[in-house]
Structure 1
Amino acid sequence: MNEADQPRDDLTTALDDAVQAGMPHAVADLTDLVRIPSVSWSAFDPKNVERSADAVARLLRDLHVFESVAIARAPIGEGGADAEQGQPAVIARRAARGGAPTVLLYAHHDVQPPGKDEDWQTSPFEPTVRGDRLYARGAADDKAGVMAHVAAIRALTETVGDEFDLGLAVFIEGEEEFGSRSFANFLAQNKDALAADAIIVADSDNWSVDVPALTVGLRGNVTFRLTVSTLEHASHSGMYGGGVPDAMIPLVRLLATLHDDDGSVAVQGMTSHDADVPEFSEEQLREDAAVLDGVSLIGRGPVLSRLWNQPTITVTGIDAPSVANASNTLLPSVAVRISARVAPGQRARDAFDALERHLRANVPFGAHLEIDDVDLGDPFLVDTSGWAAREAKAAMRDAWGAEPVETGIGGSIPFIADLVREFPDAQILVTGVEDPDTRAHSPNESLHLGVFRRAILTEALLLARLNRRG
């Protein structure tokens, strides 16, 4: 008999029953949250993010376990009292008793822009259930993370009562999808309210709809705007073309130097992380990423090593005349947005410095370069040797009936580095309610309701067992 087949104890059974009975309540609350279009990007109405924060605060107050629940903001950057304020976040706290640990529960209530309505099969902010999945923007990323925390606490109080010893802090951020611009300042201003022995970040995914995952590695990120200029003003392409370089020529040639022939990053100084990864086929990657027939994959080494442990460089945007508006002129300057992922083990600043050196050393024709609008986020490696990780994997095993997989994430959660800096002694657990079919950030984002239930049970089990540590 393996561990997943072991008989359940009374606490596990009681929590499972409470989670199952509470699912209609949890799903109803989730759909209410999802209907609020809380896009935190600057081009969208900030009042929707405020409405979302108010709704989350009500959910936490209605649990009747916290001594304080508040909505707060922090300044962006170093501008002091006159600086632009970040989006509203929700914080709550309950003091630990009897020597029990304190757990900080993190999620975010803001969402990505929906994109084009015609790319959605149903309205992006009208949650719709089809089969086992709930479709809507934010249904998974990350309002399901918010509700996993709320529903887990509900199950805990229904099972052990509301006089438990475990300390709880909650931080539901309001601008994660817009770069967590005030995150570091928010942590500094609310350090006492957020201090904890363990931090659960509910913003990742699972190996499949049947197998849970604990995320143990996150790539960092480097993003910036690169502008290449060759002329003081546009000139007639017929009169001067062939003798004068327009900005697009050196830009294209420069961008081509960033990768080897197989698509691997060719920037000296950007490093890889050496770690074992589970088996994953190229065929599965092609299917998951919707690669077109005849298009080859890029990179080298095991598939998941490419996705988790190696650097990447992507051009995510370009400022140039559209095809419809193109005139017969030589472009004086062209700008692109560069997004690089940084392998675990390397600082984002060092990766940026390597990228900048490469670009300046390889620009052709003496073109002028400008690099600005830089954003850096460090990668992260979880220490799985502590009691929190052991308890989390045991809770996953019991809730899912399957052995959890330790995974990396190709994307970035840069604010985790801020958590590490502010709370160096806290054990950090990166969990989530997503799965490979979630399509977070894309049209037709969805939440698998079975995964949602098992994620709630996992967290309820973890909180109940940590409550016993007192």
Structure 2
Amino acid sequence: MQAKEIADKARALMPGVIEDLEKLVAIPSIAFPGYPSEPMEQMGATTLQMFRDVGFTNAELMEVPSGYPPIYAEIEGPAGSPVVVLYAHYDVQPAPPEQGWTSDPWTPTHKDDGRIYGRGAADDISGLVSHLGTLRVFDGKPPCTVKLILEGMEETESNLEAFVEAHPELFACDLFVICDMGNLRVGEPALTTALRGDVACVVTVRTLEHPLHSGVFGGPAPDAMMALARLLSTLHDDEGNVSIAGASTSVWDGADLTEDDLRSSADVLDGVQLTGTGRIGDLLWARPSVNAIGIDMTNIATSSNVLIPEARAKISMRIVPGSEPEAELDALVTHLETHAPWGAKVEVQRTKAAPPFLCKTDGPGYAAARDALAEAYGRPAGEAGCGGSIPLLRTLETAAPGAEFVLWGPEDVAAARIHASDESVDPSEIEKMIVAQALLLQRLADSAGSGSG
């Protein structure tokens, strides 16, 4: 197919693509523990049927030891054609009312800005429907072999890594297309080439054998919560830069976000300064970040006038592409063990060491993707980073060591607000992503055909 034919067909398909997106957004497919299983089962069944209808007639919900199943399928292309794996996920984040939604998260809502609002509209239902649209462009008969893997537990404790390790032969391919990303801004094409990793631990600080009356003993007797607070404050310098000795840093030389982009997309309160010094791209994608994501101590409702003997915090540190998670976790743990005030007793439990990821950008698959994205958008494609982590990519790389990776999608960073209130997607980004993916498959097939001839 020629580029104009692909673009015209994608445009004609969009009403059906948006109808599919709206149908899926309406299903609260939350895989987190404690949520009902029926919506996840409905989402799996609905998604399975949609992909069977577009040509993946052998699509199945795969058997896994625990959790919700991934969906796997394959369409065999012409003999000798490249093999491409399309990835997305069908589970979404929770959408609690306290997040501050301005419309019902489970009712897809079209607003005056042209975007469609709802939980999962961007992450990652937009990726699912981009794959559906791509197959419809070819009437279910793509020009090369296409495999499909749709994850059911990406947002929680993934079971897909274990599935890939158990069935590596299913993932043998030339190119993985991970449609769970987005451009920095609508209309500005970018391939994601670097993802930070994530290491985590729980630090416990103890100062007393038991609680004490704060009036009788307050002053000389050290309070564990105050000791923990002082320990946490040592993780950053006064400007908000991470101050952990041995934590790796790098430099980002791709596309960048402005301070205004970051403030608006993150909804930073007026008058609150951004933390860290330097370019936004460096801070997001080439330097570590560290946060206390949970605290255990007496809650306010049940508090009384006592000194706290023990306090705990869960610490998460995003690590830079190219670094090794165990070494970065070692640096974090060492810092916590050596910076507690007043001789407070510190115990650190390691809980996570997820690797970062760097895409190789010198292969034919990446080049074809860059050209396809540029043609779909009518302007050159840049490169962007991602502060989130996808440990699965390392597992896929091990299963198919010669394969390339393309990371892209319709989730524009500046406005999509994934995981937050009022998550949304711009339909024009979905349409262009369908065009880009179809162009990519066609170019890969054409290149293989000309090479063999």
Selected match of 1:72 from 62, 66, 70 = 62
User: How is 1:173-184 mapped onto 2 (pairs within 5 angstroms)?
Assistant: 173-180=151-158, 182-184=159-161
* Alignment partners' CA distance in 2, 1:28 and 1:283: 33
* Alignment partners' CA distance in 2, 1:377 and 1:118: 27
* Alignment partners' CA distance in 2, 1:100 and 1:223: 42
* Alignment partners' CA distance in 1, 2:254 and 2:375: 24
* Alignment partners' CA distance in 1, 2:205 and 2:99: 35
Selected match of 2:132 from 127, 147, 150 = 150
Cα-to-partner distance string for 1:309-358 (whole Å, 9 max, x where unaligned): 00010112212223333211111211222111101111111111110011
> Do residues 110 (structure 1) and 101 (structure 2) align?
no
Consecutive unaligned residues of structure 2, counting only runs of 5 or more, are: none
Selected match of 2:423 from 445, 449, 454 = 445
2:265 and 2:417 in contact (8 A); partners too: no
Of stretches 122-131 and 46-55 in structure 1, the one that deviates more from structure 2 is 46-55
RMSD value, Cα:
1.7
* Alignment partners' CA distance in 2, 1:310 and 1:151: 37
1:74 and 1:189 in contact (8 A); partners too: no
* Alignment partners' CA distance in 1, 2:259 and 2:101: 28
Equivalent position of 1:263 in the other structure? 240
2:143 and 2:442 in contact (8 A); partners too: no
Once the two structures are TM-superposed, the CA of residue 263 in structure 1 deviates from its matched residue by 0.9
> Do residues 354 (structure 1) and 331 (structure 2) align?
yes
1:96 and 1:165 in contact (8 A); partners too: yes
2:323 match: secondary structure: coil
1:225 match: secondary structure: strand
Equivalent position of 1:38 in the other structure? 29
335 and 73 in structure 1: CA distance in 2 versus 1, 3 angstrom threshold: farther
1:101 and 1:197 in contact (8 A); partners too: yes
* Alignment partners' CA distance in 2, 1:257 and 1:400: 45
Of stretches 434-443 and 313-322 in structure 1, the one that deviates more from structure 2 is 313-322
* Alignment partners' CA distance in 2, 1:454 and 1:281: 24
> Do residues 171 (structure 1) and 162 (structure 2) align?
no
Amino acid in the other structure paired with 2:87: Y
**Percent identity for Structure 1 against Structure 2:** 37
Equivalent position of 1:81 in the other structure? none
Once the two structures are TM-superposed, the CA of residue 455 in structure 1 deviates from its matched residue by 1.0
Once the two structures are TM-superposed, the CA of residue 280 in structure 1 deviates from its matched residue by 4.0
User: How is 1:14-413 mapped onto 2 (pairs within 5 angstroms)?
Assistant: 14-66=5-57, 68-75=58-65, 85-116=66-97, 119-131=100-112, 132-157=114-139, 162=141, 164-180=142-158, 182-372=159-349, 374-413=351-390
2:409 match: secondary structure: strand
Once the two structures are TM-superposed, the CA of residue 233 in structure 1 deviates from its matched residue by 2.6
Cα-to-partner distance string for 1:247-267 (whole Å, 9 max, x where unaligned): 112101111111111111111
Once the two structures are TM-superposed, the CA of residue 204 in structure 1 deviates from its matched residue by 0.9
- How many residues get paired? 446
* Alignment partners' CA distance in 2, 1:467 and 1:104: 14
Query: 4+ residue stretches of structure 1 with deviation over 3 A?
Result: 277-281
Once the two structures are TM-superposed, the CA of residue 18 in structure 1 deviates from its matched residue by 1.3
Once the two structures are TM-superposed, the CA of residue 42 in structure 1 deviates from its matched residue by 0.7
Of stretches 287-296 and 241-250 in structure 1, the one that deviates more from structure 2 is 287-296
Once the two structures are TM-superposed, the CA of residue 381 in structure 1 deviates from its matched residue by 1.0
Cα-to-partner distance string for 1:140-161 (whole Å, 9 max, x where unaligned): 100110111111111122xxx7
**TM-score using structure 1 length:** 0.91
Equivalent position of 2:3 in the other structure? 12
2:84 and 2:147 in contact (8 A); partners too: yes
Once the two structures are TM-superposed, the CA of residue 110 in structure 1 deviates from its matched residue by 0.5
Once the two structures are TM-superposed, the CA of residue 241 in structure 1 deviates from its matched residue by 1.7
* Alignment partners' CA distance in 1, 2:346 and 2:94: 31
* Alignment partners' CA distance in 2, 1:311 and 1:413: 16
* Alignment partners' CA distance in 2, 1:345 and 1:138: 30
Equivalent position of 1:459 in the other structure? 437
